[in-house]
Amino acid sequence: MIARGHGKIIFTASGLSIKGGITVPGYASAKGGIAQLTKALCNEWGSKGVNVNAIIPGYTATEMTSALQADTERYEAELVRIPAGRWGVPDDLKGAVVFLASAASDYVHGALYPVDGGWLVR
Protein backbone atom coordinates (compact mmCIF):
# COMPACT_ATOMS: atom_id res chain seq x y z
CA MET A 1 0.00 0.00 0.00
CA ILE A 2 2.81 2.39 0.81
CA ALA A 3 4.55 1.55 -2.48
CA ARG A 4 1.27 2.15 -4.37
CA GLY A 5 0.63 5.36 -2.48
CA HIS A 6 -2.87 4.39 -1.38
CA GLY A 7 -4.79 1.83 0.59
CA LYS A 8 -7.32 1.29 3.33
CA ILE A 9 -6.77 -0.70 6.52
CA ILE A 10 -9.82 -1.37 8.68
CA PHE A 11 -9.16 -3.05 12.01
CA THR A 12 -11.79 -4.47 14.31
CA ALA A 13 -11.39 -3.09 17.81
CA SER A 14 -14.03 -3.28 20.56
CA GLY A 15 -15.93 -1.12 23.00
CA LEU A 16 -13.60 -2.70 25.52
CA SER A 17 -10.74 -0.91 23.73
CA ILE A 18 -12.17 2.22 25.33
CA LYS A 19 -13.90 1.11 28.53
CA GLY A 20 -12.05 -1.98 29.71
CA GLY A 21 -14.09 -4.98 30.72
CA ILE A 22 -15.19 -7.43 33.37
CA THR A 23 -13.62 -10.91 33.49
CA VAL A 24 -11.85 -10.42 30.13
CA PRO A 25 -8.59 -8.55 30.82
CA GLY A 26 -6.71 -10.34 28.02
CA TYR A 27 -9.39 -9.51 25.46
CA ALA A 28 -9.70 -5.90 26.64
CA SER A 29 -5.95 -5.33 26.55
CA ALA A 30 -5.60 -6.93 23.10
CA LYS A 31 -8.41 -4.79 21.70
CA GLY A 32 -6.92 -1.72 23.42
CA GLY A 33 -3.73 -2.54 21.53
CA ILE A 34 -5.67 -2.59 18.26
CA ALA A 35 -7.01 0.90 19.00
CA GLN A 36 -3.51 2.23 19.68
CA LEU A 37 -2.08 0.43 16.64
CA THR A 38 -4.74 2.14 14.53
CA LYS A 39 -3.59 5.54 15.78
CA ALA A 40 0.12 4.78 15.51
CA LEU A 41 -0.12 3.46 11.94
CA CYS A 42 -2.29 6.42 11.00
CA ASN A 43 0.51 8.71 12.17
CA GLU A 44 3.12 6.75 10.23
CA TRP A 45 1.23 5.96 7.03
CA GLY A 46 -1.41 8.68 6.61
CA SER A 47 0.99 10.93 4.71
CA LYS A 48 1.80 7.99 2.43
CA GLY A 49 -1.81 7.66 1.25
CA VAL A 50 -2.83 4.81 3.56
CA ASN A 51 -5.93 5.28 5.67
CA VAL A 52 -5.87 3.29 8.91
CA ASN A 53 -9.11 3.16 10.88
CA ALA A 54 -10.94 0.74 13.17
CA ILE A 55 -14.56 -0.14 13.70
CA ILE A 56 -15.70 -0.65 17.27
CA PRO A 57 -18.57 -3.11 17.32
CA GLY A 58 -20.76 -3.17 20.38
CA TYR A 59 -22.30 -6.27 21.85
CA THR A 60 -23.09 -8.41 18.83
CA ALA A 61 -25.08 -11.64 18.70
CA THR A 62 -22.55 -14.15 17.38
CA GLU A 63 -21.28 -17.60 18.31
CA MET A 64 -18.44 -15.93 20.23
CA THR A 65 -20.92 -14.17 22.54
CA SER A 66 -23.32 -17.11 22.92
CA ALA A 67 -22.32 -17.79 26.55
CA LEU A 68 -22.90 -14.15 27.45
CA GLN A 69 -26.26 -14.15 25.67
CA ALA A 70 -27.25 -17.28 27.60
CA ASP A 71 -26.44 -15.57 30.92
CA THR A 72 -29.81 -13.84 31.29
CA GLU A 73 -28.73 -11.54 34.11
CA ARG A 74 -25.58 -10.31 32.33
CA TYR A 75 -27.36 -10.09 28.96
CA GLU A 76 -30.06 -7.86 30.44
CA ALA A 77 -27.47 -5.76 32.31
CA GLU A 78 -25.76 -4.95 29.00
CA LEU A 79 -28.98 -4.55 27.05
CA VAL A 80 -30.20 -1.71 29.28
CA ARG A 81 -26.94 0.13 28.51
CA ILE A 82 -27.59 0.11 24.74
CA PRO A 83 -29.67 3.15 23.70
CA ALA A 84 -30.75 1.35 20.51
CA GLY A 85 -32.47 -1.22 22.74
CA ARG A 86 -30.97 -4.32 21.13
CA TRP A 87 -27.75 -6.20 20.63
CA GLY A 88 -26.15 -5.81 17.23
CA VAL A 89 -26.03 -8.36 14.46
CA PRO A 90 -23.06 -8.84 12.11
CA ASP A 91 -24.89 -7.11 9.25
CA ASP A 92 -24.91 -3.88 11.29
CA LEU A 93 -21.20 -3.49 10.49
CA LYS A 94 -21.60 -3.48 6.71
CA GLY A 95 -22.25 0.23 6.30
CA ALA A 96 -19.23 1.27 8.36
CA VAL A 97 -16.94 -1.11 6.49
CA VAL A 98 -18.20 0.04 3.08
CA PHE A 99 -17.77 3.68 4.09
CA LEU A 100 -14.25 3.21 5.48
CA ALA A 101 -13.22 1.19 2.41
CA SER A 102 -14.61 3.75 -0.05
CA ALA A 103 -13.39 7.06 -1.43
CA ALA A 104 -16.00 8.75 0.79
CA SER A 105 -13.60 8.23 3.71
CA ASP A 106 -10.42 9.42 1.99
CA TYR A 107 -9.95 12.12 4.66
CA VAL A 108 -10.79 9.84 7.59
CA HIS A 109 -7.59 8.79 9.33
CA GLY A 110 -7.08 7.19 12.74
CA ALA A 111 -10.78 6.97 13.54
CA LEU A 112 -12.20 4.56 16.06
CA TYR A 113 -15.65 4.25 14.50
CA PRO A 114 -18.27 2.88 16.90
CA VAL A 115 -21.06 0.69 15.59
CA ASP A 116 -22.53 -0.13 18.96
CA GLY A 117 -26.11 1.09 19.22
CA GLY A 118 -24.85 3.89 21.46
CA TRP A 119 -23.29 1.62 24.13
CA LEU A 120 -20.15 3.75 24.48
CA VAL A 121 -22.14 6.85 25.46
CA ARG A 122 -23.84 5.17 28.43
Domain boundaries, the chain: 7-116
Q: How is domain 7-116 classified at the architecture level of CATH?
A: 3-Layer(aba) Sandwich (3.40)
Expressed in percent and rounded to 5, the helix, strand and coil fractions of the chain are 50, 15, 35
DSSP 8-state class, residue 31:
H
Write out pLDDT tens, residues 48-57: 999 999 999 9
- Kindly report whether the global pTM for this prediction surpasses the value 0.85: yes
113 is catalytic: no
Question: CA dist 98 to 2, 4, 45, 72, Å?
Answer: 21, 21, 21, 34
Of 27, 59, 107, 113, catalytic: 27
Write out pLDDT tens, residues 36-81: 999 999 999 999 999 999 999 999 999 999 999 999 999 999 999 9
